[in-house]
Chains A and B, each alone.
Chain A
């Protein structure tokens, strides 16, 4: 055949059925038409092809300060099995103990970059400092090296597919403890003095700080805004109830994400079991002793 037709095998897959919803038990579209990503809503083959065609590179940022380095091995090993397999991946490991970063065998097109940072004094400070560090490295590094950033907590492991279905200009993840709650019960910051304040009659979802991301440009905007907001709060002698997560929620209320990840992407099986609505548990908490791990 002449002309502009491409040669080779076309991707074959079942026809989408217009009169059959993909999930009839959950909301799969926000009121601003952002997909809420649940198992059953997407076809991995189609999405993989779309993103491979553009040679997409994904950066995964993770902070391992002081004793938290102990989580790195399982985190990286399971990421190798489940995270963006088949795509180019760069793990950005921020740590104050670079020598303690384990060497994990990596698939092709994947690498680990270790970046040394000072760890804040309390776990709340470490959590919050992620915002300013990610923001700074967006310009310094990420803009040139990756297309998308995924910013994750380290005390986690992958146990099922986490792929390009999550990628979009800006995404947040539904907190697994609040996806069924009324907005008045969300643990937003409620004191008007804080920059993160959200009144009880407002709010779309309660997003968890443990997994968010998007294009480098959008993550830069988000992290800069949160950092600024936290600095203002600090100057005013107030610290938001859930720290960076409170500010993340304020930001995503004002700048609605273009995709929302279901709690499949952030789960704690020990705490929450395995409800029927979760068809997969993809990225889950690793059990830990809080007192132990937070002691310097």
Chain B
């Protein structure tokens, strides 16, 4: 996760007087908020519609002769929902999801389960945050289809040192209960650790040559994954997840991420304006995105989808990088720049929140992150990149 070191350039620090004033304002707002919160919530708890005047004949009559005096073809008139059925969660559920019952009772509810974040892109792709999904329902759906997931990871030269923790933690948190194949691409196959694996899970070690610089290694992943899609993945797995290796799993990463094509929000940019995204800005590059365009800034460290879609994505990125190379230009963030161009043109069918790609050392643990699922492993960049 080398790229995580990019943070937005901060504004110059405020003078201490501003800071104190700011803190005082916050204090006042908090105190004020406690007192008026019932009122605020109450506004959102819209009063149920008035009990409707039913025509003679009352409610849904069982099938039989159509009653002339009642709206009998399905448009049943019911009094509005009793206020007890309109629920909202003020506290955050500690497990994956509030009871299905309480959620289903309150479609028309004050504050959806996540009222602090966007959970749907403008093209109606889910943005996956804790609280939006029920793991049991999803697991059942994917187990019914005997879904197999491939996880690709590249460990070139010294990066093999990350493999053990990566695989061990994946065994605890990644697609548990489903069939998994880890595809470990490495130039040091003997250095791949033997990690105890759960049932239905296996490691496939594939030998590759490592590019000279870390940027080359990063970019070569595109052509290698693309090639292996046809050669292997198409026949062996249903979905591919392509991840950086200098990471570990610390919480659930499951089938909620699976869809034809998904990208992950870069944890340094999820709150940024698009003009500040570190897209490639030079028009000469195939990865170029102008400042008034772009949906999100996706990170190259985690993307995936169906084998067919990952094949299309990696092939397109590889081609684009080859054209750039022929034109003597290298995109500012390499494969990640091209990934962003591709996902602008081919919008993902799911977007993963930064829960799925985090760096706690760099970014702490903000309130909006209810779980930190897949996180950077601290490393010495100079050290690890020296051949």
Contact = CB atoms under 8 A, between A and B. Distances in A.
Contact of B52 (A32, A36, A204, A272): A272
Interface stretch (B31-39, B161-169, B288-296, B378-386): B288-296
A19 B108 contact: no
A4 interface: yes
A239 interface: yes
Interface in A238-273: 239-243, 245, 256, 259, 268, 271-273
Contacts of B323: 2-4
B17 interface: no
Contact of B270 (A2, A12, A19, A35): A19
A208 B74 CA distance: 8
Interface stretch (A73-81, A177-185, A217-225): A177-185
A42 B137 contact: no
A43 B120 CA distance: 11
Given A19-B271, A33-B133, A42-B124, 6 more contacts: A16-B122, A19-B116, A25-B110, A31-B132, A35-B126, A50-B347
Contacts of A127: 73
Contacts of A4: 286, 316, 319-320, 323
18 contacts: A2-B327, A5-B286, A10-B290, A24-B44, A28-B120, A29-B133, A42-B122, A177-B76, A178-B76, A180-B80, A180-B81, A180-B106, A181-B78, A201-B101, A204-B100, A268-B75, A275-B49, A277-B108
Chain A: interface size category: 35 or more
Contacts of B118: 16-22
Contacts of A241: 60, 62-63
A279 interface: no
Closest 9 A/B residue pairs (Cβ): A180-B81, A43-B122, A31-B134, A291-B68, A3-B323, A180-B108, A33-B126, A35-B124, A15-B274
Interface string B32-72: 00000000000010101100100000001011001010011
Interface of B: 44, 46, 48-49, 52, 60, 62-63, 66, 68, 71-78, 80-81, 85-86, 97, 100-101, 103-124, 126-128, 132-134, 137-138, 141, 256, 265, 270-271, 273-274, 283-284, 286, 288, 290, 292-296, 316, 319-320, 323, 327, 347, 350, 368
A1 B283 contact: yes
A255 B223 CA distance: 38
A113 interface: no
A23 B71 CA distance: 32
A31 B103 contact: yes
B107 A180 contact: yes
A187 B271 CA distance: 44
Given A5-B286, A35-B124, A27 B75 contact: no
B117 A21 contact: yes
A42 B123 contact: yes
Interface of A: 1-5, 10, 12-13, 15-29, 31-33, 35-37, 41-43, 46-47, 50, 122-124, 127, 155, 165, 174-183, 185, 187, 201, 203-205, 208-210, 239-243, 245, 256, 259, 268, 271-273, 275-277, 285, 290-291, 294
A255 to B, nearest CB: 10
B61 to A, nearest CB: 9
B270 A37 contact: no
Given A4-B320, A26-B109, A290-B73, A16 B256 contact: no
B80 to A, nearest CB: 7
Contacts of B112: 21, 23-29
A177 B108 contact: no
Contacts of A183: 101, 104-105
